[in-house]
Amino acid sequence: MSYAIIRTAGFQFRAEPGKTLRIPSLDAEVGSTVTFEEVLLGSDGTNVHAGVPLLSGAKVTGEVVRHGKGDKIVVFKMKRRKNYAKKQGHRQGFTEVKINDITLG
């Protein structure tokens, strides 16, 4: 089974052909193809290729499935005896990408 470890938006993800990844928001239209050039590690099923720090010529291509927002988290700040309490909510945006092909250069 082939897989690759890619880096995008400061995070690392394990990409496998046919799998769907939920990554931080990208500026890409739904249905468009995206290419990830920062491949840190790759495997073709028998051999593992490690980059120092990146694999040269390796890339992972995928198709944008949808955009959305994740679950809400609550940020609550309070200082006791100071009459201060602040409650905020946050929903992080994401992009779902279906991995099509892994090329290990």
pLDDT in tens, 12-38: 999 999 999 999 999 999 999 999 999
Task: Return contacts of 15-19, CB within 8 angstroms, 24+ apart.
Answer: 15/60, 15/62, 15/99, 15/102, 16/99, 16/102, 17/99, 17/100, 17/101, 17/102, 18/98, 18/99, 19/98, 19/99
Question: How many domains would you assign to the chain?
Answer: 1
- Residue 105 pLDDT > 90: no
Domain that holds residue 51: 3-104
Quote the pLDDT of residue 45. Answer: 87
The whole-model pTM stands at 0.85
